């Protein structure tokens, strides 16, 4: 049966999408797993780019097993991240750029710009602008921002549809105060917390963080409830904090 091109076009226009740029293969789970599951539930296509597997810097438990190679660690991390993304409802790809240190050449930047062009994100989530404990994290933020700007440029691969100006939100770093990170958005993730915790449990190599990030979500949940007003009937238990980079454009301040 012949498809009606008008219907196909309107579906493509209506479908919203989100892009998550994660320095290492587990960051998107701790820091944005709730947002991913929530937007997936709302009908968004959510795509995650892991710039590295975190094979050197965030896989201590795997290395301590002994008899490990970098390839084996990367495969274990890839399997964990794939399983977590599936639970959260996101597609995922791995750039395998290496970690500790993460370094990017122009090709990596263009590869990420091409992801922007393909995904056409309505929102972008990535790391904080600073992190004195981890230089890979702000580098990922820098790449996410620079690729966004390249993807906006008419002169980059002329003729392709450019991207608009999707808002960029920095997700919560491990030690917010030292990273000059302060949330201006609190996302209620109570309805998808079970999905986030299932995804967290895929990260067998970092079991020490499971309960830590449960506490973080509870803290942000309490703060979200406080900020939504005591007259609200919303029963917020779990939250995620975000810091926006650009001003929000709105016609409604309430
Ligand atoms: Zn990381």
CATH code of the domain covering residue 89: 3.40.50.10320
Phi and psi dihedrals of 49, rounded to 5? -110, 120
Distance 163 CA to ligand 1 centre (A): 27
Q: Are 107 and 147 in contact (CB under 8 A)?
A: no
Bridge partners of 94, per DSSP, are 50
Report pLDDT for 195.
Answer: 98
The predicted structure's pLDDT at residue 146: 98
Residue 250 lies in a domain: no
Tell me the average confidence (pLDDT) per consecutive run of 10 residues in the chain, 254 residues long.
48 80 97 98 98 94 92 96 98 98 97 98 98 98 98 98 97 98 97 98 89 98 87 84 95 90
Q: Identify whether 112 is part of a domain.
A: yes
Confidence (pLDDT) at 204: 85
pLDDT of residue 254: 83
198 C-alpha to ligand 1 centroid (Å): 19
CA–centroid distance, residue 58 to ligand 1 (Å): 7
- Measured in Å, residue 50 CA sits from the centre of ligand 1 at 10
Cβ < 5 A residues, ion ligand 1: 23-24, 27
The token duo for 148 is: 């966004």
Looking at residue 228, what is its pLDDT? 86
Give 75's DSSP letter.
Answer: H
* Gap between the Cα atoms of 115 and 36, Å rounded: 17
Q: Look at residues 111, 110, 106 and name the one whose alpha carbon lies nearest to residue 93.
A: 111
| Structural domain harbouring 157 | 6-244
| Residue 90 lies inside a defined structural domain of this protein | yes
179: in domain: yes
């Amino acid at each position: 049966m012949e498809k009606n091109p008008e219907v196909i076009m309107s579906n493509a226009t209506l479908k919203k999408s989100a892009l998550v740029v994660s320095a290492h293969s587990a960051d998107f789970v701790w820091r944005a797993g709730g947002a991913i599951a929530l937007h997936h539930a709302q009908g968004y296509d959510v795509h995650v780019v892991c710039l590295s597997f975190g094979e050197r810097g965030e896989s201590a438990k795997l290395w301590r097993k002994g008899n490990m190679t970098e390839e084996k660690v990367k495969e274990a991390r890839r399997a964990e991240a794939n399983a977590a993304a599936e639970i959260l409802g996101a597609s995922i790809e791995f750039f395998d750029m290496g970690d500790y240190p993460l370094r990017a050449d122009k090709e990596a930047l263009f590869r990420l710009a091409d992801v922007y062009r393909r995904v056409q994100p309505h929102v972008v989530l990535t790391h904080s602008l600073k992190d004195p404990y981890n230089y890979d994290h702000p580098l990922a933020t820098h790449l996410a921002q620079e690729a966004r700007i390249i993807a906006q440029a008419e002169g980059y691969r002329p003729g392709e549809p450019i991207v608009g100006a999707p808002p960029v939100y920095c997700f919560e770093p491990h030690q917010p105060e030292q990273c000059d990170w302060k949330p201006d958005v609190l996302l209620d993730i109570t309805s998808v917390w079970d999905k986030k915790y299932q995804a967290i449990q895929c990260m067998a190599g970092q079991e020490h963080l499971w309960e830590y990030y449960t506490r973080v979500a509870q803290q942000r949940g309490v703060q979200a409830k406080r900020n939504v007003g005591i007259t609200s009937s919303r029963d917020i238990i779990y939250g995620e904090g975000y810091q926006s980079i650009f001003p929000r454009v709105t016609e409604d301040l309430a």
